[in-house]
C-alpha cells in the first residue's frame, strides 16, 4: 500500500466553505488534473496526497476498499461542510478486465467542489501552490489504426454475430481503438473544457490520464440511496430535425436494440437486488438525446439494505451487460478472444468515493488514454445475432467523434 505524503502520520484533512468558484475546470493546473463534472457541478482536484496501483484480480475492489479504509480511516478530518464529496476524496479508475493491470486510486492534495448552491475547498496535508500555465492547443492531429483496421473489426463483428446465432451467448459488446498523435503535448484541461461545454449532460472525467465524457452513470450512492442510469441501444443523430425524430422512433421500435436494452436492465436488476431492500426499474426505456447519438436509457433507483459503500456496489455491478454482454462470463471470454487488445480503463468504472462511502461512478465510455503527444481513443457497441458489421462500424465511428472533437475543437 502506498501513501505519497512522505510520512507515515495520519493524513491531515481540512474542508471549508468557499464562495462560488465559477468555472471549476478553470482552477486546474496543467499537471495531472482530476475531474468529475456535470452541468458545471462536481469535483476537481490536483496534487497527490496518496496513490496506489490496485493489484489485478477478482478481489481488486475489496482490496481498494481496504486500502481506502487504512488511508482515510486514520485521517484527522476537520470538515465544516459535511456533505457527500467533502472531506478526503479518492478519484479512481479501474480497468475493464479484472486481470489487466492499471487500476488506480488517488487522493488529491487539493479538491475544489460545488453542488446544489454550495462550494467548498478541501486540502490534504500542507497546501502546495500549483502555478497556472496557459492552455495550449495540441496542434495538428494525425490518426492511425489501433489494434485492428476497420475491415478487420467488421470481420470480428461478423464472427461474434455467428456465435450468437449459434446459441453460444445472447450479446457481446465489442470495442475498437484509434490512435491520435498531436504536434504538441496534449493539455488535458483543454479536453475537459471542450467536453464539458459540448456534452453538459454527460459526466466529464479525468483520472490518471483517462479522460472522457460518459453518459452512463454506473452508480451514485448518497447514504443508503443509490441511482444508476442504464444505456443500451444507440443510433446516430439525424441530418435534419425530421430525420432525427425518425431515427429516435426507429431506435425505440428496434427489436434488436430493445432486446439489447432488456438484457442490460435484467443484468442490473439481478446484480442490485441482493444488495437492496427496495429496487425500482422502469417498464419502458426513454430516449436520451446527446449531441452526437441517441440512446435507449432507463433510470434505476434503490435503497441499500446494509449500507454498503459505493465501491461495493461498483464491484457487484461491473461489468454490466451494457459494456460486456450476456451472459457476462461468456461475453468476457469472447471479448478477450476477438478484440485482440487491452481496453485499459475503457468501459471500466471511473469516479470518486469519500470517507463515508458515498460517491459517483460512471462507465468510462467516450474516452481516451492520454500520454504526452499521444492519445488512444476507444469506442464500441453491443453486438447481437442480427448485427450488421457496417452499421456497427458506423456507430463506433460516431462515438469516436466525441474525443476527436475534444482534440480538434
State residue 5's pLDDT score.
42
Cross-strand partners of 77: 13
State residue 106's pLDDT score.
97
Q: Which overall architecture, per CATH, does domain 12-126+139-408 show? A: 4-Layer Sandwich (3.60)
Rounded Cα gap, residues 144 and 154, in angstroms: 17
Locate 46 and state its grid cell.
490536483
Q: Which of 48, 216, 360, 392 is catalytic?
A: 216
State residue 9's pLDDT score.
65
State residue 132's pLDDT score.
77
Alpha helices in 143-300 (DSSP H): 150-165, 188-198, 241-253, 255-272
Rounded Cα gap, residues 201 and 362, in angstroms: 13
Q: In the 8-state DSSP scheme, what is residue 345? A: T
Check if the beta carbon of residue 164 is closer than 8 Å to that of residue 383: yes
Rounded Cα gap, residues 297 and 222, in angstroms: 22
Its sign, for the CA torsion 232, 236, 241, 247, is: negative
Q: Which of 30, 171, 256, 399 is catalytic?
A: 171
pLDDT tens by residue, the chain, 409 residues: 455 444 446 889 999 999 999 999 998 998 889 999 999 999 999 999 999 999 999 999 999 999 999 998 889 999 999 999 999 999 999 999 999 999 999 999 999 999 999 999 999 988 777 777 899 999 999 999 999 999 999 999 999 999 999 999 999 999 999 999 999 999 999 999 999 999 999 999 999 999 999 988 999 999 999 999 988 888 888 989 999 999 999 999 999 889 888 888 888 888 899 999 999 999 899 999 888 889 999 999 999 988 789 999 999 999 988 899 989 999 999 999 999 899 999 999 999 999 999 999 999 999 999 999 999 999 999 999 999 999 999 989 989 999 999 999 8
Q: Is 171 a catalytic residue?
A: yes
Q: How far is CA 310 from the centre of its chain?
A: 14
Amino acid at each position: 500500500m502506498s501513501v505519497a505524503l512522505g510520512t507515515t502520520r495520519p493524513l491531515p484533512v481540512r474542508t471549508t466553505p468557499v464562495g462560488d468558484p465559477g468555472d471549476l475546470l478553470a482552477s486546474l493546473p496543467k499537471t495531472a488534473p482530476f475531474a468529475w463534472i456535470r452541468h458545471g457541478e462536481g469535483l476537481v482536484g490536483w496534487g497527490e496526497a496518496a496513490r496506489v496501483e490496485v493489484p489485478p484480480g477478482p478481489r481488486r475492489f475489496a482490496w481498494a476498499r481496504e486500502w481506502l479504509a487504512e488511508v482515510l480511516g486514520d485521517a484527522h478530518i476537520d470538515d465544516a461542510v459535511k456533505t457527500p464529496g467533502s472531506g478526503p476524496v479518492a478519484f479512481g479508475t479501474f480497468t475493464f478486465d479484472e486481470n489487466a493491470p492499471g487500476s488506480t486510486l488517488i487522493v488529491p492534495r487539493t479538491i475544489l467542489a460545488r453542488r446544489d448552491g454550495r462550494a467548498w475547498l478541501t486540502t490534504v496535508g500542507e497546501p502546495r501552490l500549483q502555478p497556472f500555465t496557459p492552455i495550449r492547443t495540441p496542434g495538428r492531429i494525425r490518426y492511425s489504426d489501433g489494434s485492428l483496421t476497420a475491415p478487420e473489426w467488421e470481420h470480428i463483428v461478423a464472427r461474434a454475430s455467428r456465435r450468437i446465432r449459434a446459441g453460444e451467448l445472447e450479446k457481446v459488446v465489442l470495442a475498437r481503438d484509434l490512435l491520435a498523435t498531436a504536434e504538441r503535448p496534449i493539455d488535458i484541461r483543454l479536453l475537459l473544457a471542450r467536453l464539458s461545454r459540448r456534452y453538459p449532460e454527460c459526466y466529464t472525467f479525468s483520472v490518471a490520464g483517462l479522460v472522457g465524457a460518459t453518459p452512463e452513470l454506473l452508480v451514485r450512492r448518497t447514504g443508503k440511496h443509490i441511482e444508476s442510469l442504464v444505456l443500451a441501444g444507440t443510433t446516430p443523430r439525424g441530418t435534419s430535425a425530421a430525420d432525427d425524430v425518425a431515427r429516435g422512433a426507429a431506435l425505440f421500435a428496434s427489436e434488436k436494440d430493445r432486446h439489447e436494452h432488456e438484457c442490460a436492465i435484467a443484468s442490473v436488476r439481478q446484480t442490485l437486488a441482493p444488495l437492496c431492500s427496495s429496487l425500482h426499474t422502469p417498464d419502458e426505456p426513454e430516449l436520451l438525446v446527446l449531441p452526437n447519438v441517441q440512446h435507449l436509457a432507463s433510470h434505476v433507483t434503490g435503497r441499500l439494505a446494509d449500507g454498503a459503500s459505493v465501491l461495493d456496489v461498483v464491484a457487484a455491478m461491473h461489468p454490466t451487460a451494457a459494456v460486456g454482454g450476456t451472459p457476462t462470463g461468456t461475453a468476457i471470454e469472447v471479448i478477450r478472444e476477438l478484440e485482440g487488445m487491452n481496453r485499459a480503463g475503457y468501459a471500466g468504472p471511473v469516479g470518486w468515493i469519500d470517507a463515508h462511502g458515498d460517491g459517483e461512478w460512471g462507465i468510462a465510455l467516450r474516452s481516451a488514454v492520454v500520454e504526452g503527444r499521444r492519445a488512444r481513443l476507444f469506442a464500441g457497441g453491443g453486438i447481437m445475432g442480427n448485427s450488421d458489421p457496417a452499421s456497427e462500424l458506423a456507430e463506433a465511428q460516431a462515438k469516436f467523434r466525441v474525443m476527436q472533437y475534444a482534440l480538434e475543437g
